[in-house]
Amino acid sequence: MRTRYGKKTVLTMKAALKKAKLTPADLAAVGITNQRETTVVWSKKTGKPLHNALVWMDMRTKEICHKISGEEGKDKIRARTGLPIVPYFAGTKLKWLLDNVPEVRKAADEGDALFGTIDSWLMWNLSGGTDGGLHLTDVTNASRTLLMNINTLEWDSSLCKLFTIPPNMLPKIVSSSAELFKIKVPGLEGIPLSGVLGDQQAALFGQTCFEVGEAKNTYGTGCFLLLNTGTKPVQSSHGLLTTVGYKIGEDEPVYALEGSVAIGGALVQWLRDNLNMIDNAPEVEELALSVPDNGGVYFVPAFSGLYAPYWRDDARGVIVGLTRFANKGHIARATLESTAFQTCDVFNAMEKDADVKLKSLKVDGGMTANKTMLQFQADALDIPVILPEISETTALGAAFAAGLAVGVYKDVDELKEKWKERSVFNPAMEVEQREKLFTNWKKAIDRTLDWE
C-alpha cells in the first residue's frame, strides 16, 4: 500500500481488530466510505501516484470550468450529469492534472495512468495493486465526476471528449452494496469487500433514509443535506445537485437531491488554527454561550466560494455587522449559526425542487456534539432536528451496505429496525426573530459576491 491514505487505512483496520480482540476471520465483510471528489492518478505498472491528490475544495480548476462552460454556462451538462461545471467535481481536477502535469499526460498516452477517487485507490490496493488489482468505483462516487451519465450509470463518451479524458483511465462502475472481491493485503486476507459509498451517501444509508422524502444532514468539514427522491433522477432548478443515493446489488439505483456546503465544521477549525481563538473545537460552544445572541454579527465562510444553492466561485468569506460592542463570543456564535443558516438555504431549495414539506431532519457527523448549534438549527428550520444513537452514520452506512451484500442483514427493513433515536431538538424561536435573522443573513450573503 502506497501513500498515507493506503497505509493508514490498513493500519486502522488492524488496530480496530486488535482493540475489539478480533481476527480477520471474525469479520463478515468490509465496507469503504470516502470523500467523494478528491482525485488521484497513479501508475498501473508501479502503483505510485503520479502527482499529489487534488482535494475536493481545491479551486485551481476554476478557469477550466469557465472555459468548458462557455456561453451555455455552468449548467450545460446538468441534464446528463445532474451537476454544474464547477471546481468541486473530480472531472475538472483530472483534466487539470492531464493538462498541467507532464508525467500524468505521458502515462495516460501510454495507457499506464489510472484515475480514481479515494475509493478506487483503496480498492485497487486492497485487491492486489500491481499484482492484479481491480480498478473499480461505485455509482455514488462515479456520480461526482462530471463524467458519468446520471441516467445510464455509465461513463459518457461525449463527456469524456468534452473534458479530454481518455476513457481507459476510468474505473469500472459497480453497485454500492455487492460482494466485489476478497482483500489480499497481508494480515487481512480473505475478508470480502462488499460495500462502497461516497461519504454523504453512506450517511444517507446509515440514517436508513430508504423511503422517498426522507432526508439527512451531515455536519463535518462541510455540510451535506441529502433527500431520497426514489428510482428516477430529479433535476434541480434551485441550485442543488442530482446524485446517486445508492445501488443495492442488481436493484434499481436510488437517487437523491443534494445541497453541498463547503465550510461547516472547518470554520471552527479555522477559529482554532488561523485565529488561535480557541484551543480545541468543543471550546467554541462555551465561547458562543458567553453571549446571549450574535450581537448582529454574521459570518459567511465562502473560503472556496459559495456552494449550494448559489454556486458562486467569485464569493469570498466575510464577517459583517461588527461594532465595538462585538467580541469573540459573538464571532463564535456567528460561526455556529453560519452552519445552520447555510443548511437552511439548502433546505429551502430542496423543498422547492422536490415539492415536499419536510417535517423533521435527521442529523449526524462530528459537529452534532455541539448542542447549541443543533438547537439553533431546529429554531432556524422551525422543525424538529433528530440525532441518532450513533452519530457517525457515515461509517455505519458503509458497514450496513457491506453486511447487506453478504447476508449479515436480510433487507433494508432490518436495517431500519436497527436505527435508534438518541435525542430531539424542538424549535422554540418566535417567527419575527427568525425572519429578522434571515433578512440579515441574506444581506451578509450579498456582501460575499463579485470579489473576482
**Which residues lie closer than 8 Å to 401 by C-beta, 6 or more apart?**
31, 176, 177, 194, 195, 196, 197, 202, 205, 246, 248
Report whether pLDDT(33) > 70: yes
| pLDDT value of position 263 | 93
Answer yes or no: are the C-beta atoms of 7 and 74 closer than 8 Å.
no
Mean pLDDT of 244-254: 98
Between these two residues, 151 and 5, which has the higher pLDDT value? 151
Element (H, E) at 393: helix 393-405
- Per residue in 96-155, pLDDT (tens digit) is 999 999 999 999 999 999 999 999 999 999 999 999 999 999 999 999 999 999 999 999
- Per residue in 333-381, pLDDT (tens digit) is 999 999 999 999 999 999 999 888 899 999 999 999 999 999 999 999 9
Residue 402 C-alpha cell reads as 457491506
Mean pLDDT of 68-86: 94
Indicate whether this model's pTM tops 0.85.
yes
Answer yes or no: are the C-beta atoms of 203 and 397 closer than 8 Å.
yes
Q: For every residue of 111-139, which 3-state class applies, written as one string?
A: CCEEEEEHHHHHHHHHCCCCCCCCCEEEH
Mean pLDDT of 240-267: 96
- Mean pLDDT score of the chain, rounded to an integer? 94
| pLDDT value of position 1 | 46
How much of the chain exceeds pLDDT 90, in percent? 90
Residue with cell string 444581506: 443
Residue with cell string 450581537: 295
Handedness of CA 312, 309, 57, 177 (dihedral sign): negative
Strands 177-182 and 192-198: antiparallel
Residue with cell string 469570498: 316
- Per residue in 381-401, pLDDT (tens digit) is 999 999 999 988 999 999 999
- 12 — pLDDT class (breaks 50, 70, 90): confident
288-301 b/e with 16+ CB inside 10 Å = b? Answer: beebeebbebbbbb
| pLDDT value of position 4 | 58
Alpha-carbon distance of 82 to 368, in angstroms, equals: 29
Answer yes or no: are the C-beta atoms of 398 and 199 closer than 8 Å.
no
| pLDDT value of position 11 | 87
Answer yes or no: are the C-beta atoms of 322 and 297 closer than 8 Å.
yes
Report whether pLDDT(186) > 90: no
Between these two residues, 254 and 9, which has the higher pLDDT value? 254
- 434 — pLDDT class (breaks 50, 70, 90): very high
Alpha-carbon distance of 294 to 321, in angstroms, equals: 10
By C-alpha distance, which of 109, 86, 10, 95 is closest to 54?
Answer: 95
Element (H, E) at 148: strand 148-149
Mean pLDDT of 18-45: 94
- Per residue in 284-323, pLDDT (tens digit) is 999 999 999 999 999 999 998 999 999 998 999 999 999 9
